[in-house]
Chains A and B, each alone.
Chain A
Amino acid sequence: MRYASLLLVLGFATGCAVRYPAVVPMREQQFRSHDQAVALPLDQEGRGEVANFLEHGGNRFGRNAAPDAQAAGHKQMLDALAAEGNLKIRASLATPDFCAIALPLCQAAPILRKRMAVTQVIDARNRQPEVPDPIAVCDDEYCWIFRQSNNLLTHLVVVRSVRRLQP
């Protein structure tokens, strides 16, 4: 009887939709802010590169400026990433809550609040998955992919998100 129920569970489990983990891909060159992640805290040059990327709708080679619906939030984000104190994280917290991991950054950049931390970042340029895992967090249109080490965010690439908002 016990194993009949187990068979039933197995059948049911395979029939139901599988919930896949959140994954952030490293986008093509056109849709990522940098080829090599920029060091944090952001200096003027790094900030300018990210800002330019965002001002062109996440198209690094774009010729036309595009309105950024989250411009105010992104400005706060760039300001926050220029301050070393905002880069401290608690990397050993087993939580999907990005703000629990990166509280100082979230306090300075509210655009990140109630967003999920994603550690499954796919970068096909790499020989194998990075260790330690990057930490990515996505706002409505962009994903901010951080490298981290010793409980500090150390590098950043911004990519145009592949997810689309619900219409």
Chain B
Amino acid sequence: MSPAMSLHADLLGRLQAIARVQLVARLQDDRLNFPGANELHVFIPDIHLITAARRVEGGYQYGTNHPVLLEAVVKSLRALKLASAPAGEVVVYQIGDLFDLWRQVDGLDPNANAASAIQNDQASLLAALRDPDLNAQFLLGNHDYDLYRFPNFDAWQRSFVLAPSVMLLHGDVFDWVEKLPAELKNLVLFLFTASHPAGTADLEKLRPLNNKQRGGRKFRDFIQNQAPAPTGKWRETSDDGGSWNVQVEGTAPKEMLLYLDEARQKCGEANRQFGSALNMAVIGHTHQARIAVHDTEDEFFTLMDCGAWIENCSTADDPTPRPNAQIAALGANEARIYQLAPLE
């Protein structure tokens, strides 16, 4: 077993020790061009934290799923990272919308008091996520975009390039990028390159777009999906190889291919403009966990949507809503998405 396959197995073992784990999707393909034998990249998707008081005050009908389990998962990832070093490297990312400033406050929070309040209210979870030994990397989502304004969040980015082939971003850009005039599209394209990472000035320029997406909505009943998000067919976990529940363009239902084309096109543009070799996008934002591929003779492109820890999902076998609680991992040309639940 290669070191990175061992890291996949190690991660699974640790998750199984603290949670009921099911496999949502798995893609094993050398064309991912992400062979890194000694590294595993782990993605924690949207969490949308607000304070308990705000949840009551705002009349929100839903909240973050299984926060106690999430904290246990994060601590387990820290242990995995430390145990794997130095032979293996485990990198953990929280891929945006950790804080839900759009639900915590109306309008702009000019001095980060909302973010601090959430952090104080969810102190142990945030302490675990921001543990220096875990050294989690954070993306700015759309619900916590404004954090770019505050020095304590200077390390948070809008995107990462995981060399050589993977673009990691929250995914909200796909809501609106194709509707933009050319001048703005060019500005956004810089998100898709490692050579010109978006700085504070760029984020300030794009803030009106983020604000426009908020559009005065209150999100009282839902954020992304009023009905449980379809995620295809899950199975129990085992370490036998082989892809599972991959949504292939041309055969999968359209709802399972959301943003596959947008991501492929944007990565293609970036490749042409900046000489990169992006052929995979990893996102959150939609709260719909899936792996989707565009697979033709000329091109192989993958979208991994890591799901969420808020709102619900359903499977092809069972329409019963289940709380989203997903985590994804990538390494050794293999991508996996797991669904977690508390042990009975």
Tell me which of B49-57, B60-68, B302-310, B313-321 binds A.
Answer: B49-57
User: By the criterion CB–CB under 8 Å, are B151 and A23 in contact?
Assistant: yes
B217, chain A: closest CB distance, angstroms: 18
In this complex, what residue of B is CB-closest to A129?
B152
B252, chain A: closest CB distance, angstroms: 32
User: By the criterion CB–CB under 8 Å, are B151 and A128 in contact?
Assistant: no
Q: Does A14 contact B (CB under 8 A)?
A: yes
Q: Does B294 contact A (CB under 8 A)?
A: no
User: By the criterion CB–CB under 8 Å, are A119 and B204 in contact?
Assistant: no
Tell me which of B31-39, B125-133, B167-175 binds A.
Answer: B125-133
A116→B111 CA distance, assembly (Å): 10
A117→B132 CA distance, assembly (Å): 26
Chain A residues within 8 Å of B104, by CB: 94
User: By the criterion CB–CB under 8 Å, are A119 and B109 in contact?
Assistant: no
B130 CB contact (under 8 Å) in A22, A91, A118, A128: A128
A65, chain B: closest CB distance, angstroms: 35
User: By the criterion CB–CB under 8 Å, are A18 and B53 in contact?
Assistant: no
Q: Does B205 contact A (CB under 8 A)?
A: yes
B85-132 with Cβ < 8 A to chain A: 104-105, 109-121, 123, 126-127, 130, 132
User: By the criterion CB–CB under 8 Å, are B123 and A94 in contact?
Assistant: no
User: By the criterion CB–CB under 8 Å, are A133 and B152 in contact?
Assistant: yes
Tell me which of A3-11, A33-41, A48-56, A70-78 binds B.
Answer: A3-11
User: By the criterion CB–CB under 8 Å, are A94 and B130 in contact?
Assistant: no
Chain A residues within 8 Å of B112, by CB: 21, 119-120, 133
B116 CB contact (under 8 Å) in A19, A20, A119, A149: A119
Chain A residues within 8 Å of B181, by CB: 3, 7
User: By the criterion CB–CB under 8 Å, are B127 and A132 in contact?
Assistant: yes
Q: Does B183 contact A (CB under 8 A)?
A: yes
A151→B201 CA distance, assembly (Å): 36
A131→B181 CA distance, assembly (Å): 41
Given contacts A92-B52, A94-B51, contact A21 B119 (CB under 8 A): no
Chain A residues within 8 Å of B207, by CB: 13
Chain B residues within 8 Å of A14, by CB: 201, 204-205
A162, chain B: closest CB distance, angstroms: 14
A134→B292 CA distance, assembly (Å): 43
In this complex, what residue of A is CB-closest to B52?
A92
Chain A residues within 8 Å of B110, by CB: 19, 21, 96
A59-108 with Cβ < 8 A to chain B: 91-96
A129→B136 CA distance, assembly (Å): 13
Q: Does A150 contact B (CB under 8 A)?
A: yes
Chain A residues within 8 Å of B109, by CB: 94
A117→B110 CA distance, assembly (Å): 12
A111-136 with Cβ < 8 A to chain B: 116-122, 127-129, 131-133, 135
User: By the criterion CB–CB under 8 Å, are A120 and B117 in contact?
Assistant: no
A119→B147 CA distance, assembly (Å): 13
User: By the criterion CB–CB under 8 Å, are A94 and B54 in contact?
Assistant: yes
A25-49 with Cβ < 8 A to chain B: none
In this complex, what residue of A is CB-closest to B206?
A10
What 1/0 mask marks residues of chain B from 27 to 48 whose CB sits below 8 Å from any chain A CB? Answer: 0000000000000000000000
Given contacts A131-B119, A132-B119, A132-B120, contact A120 B111 (CB under 8 A): yes
Which A residues have a C-beta under 8 Å from some C-beta of B?
3, 6-7, 9-10, 13-14, 18-23, 91-96, 116-122, 127-129, 131-133, 135, 148-151
Contacts A92-B52, A94-B104, A132-B120 known; 15 new A-B pairs at CB < 8 A: A3-B181, A10-B205, A14-B201, A21-B150, A92-B53, A92-B120, A93-B53, A96-B111, A119-B113, A122-B151, A127-B132, A131-B119, A131-B123, A131-B126, A133-B116
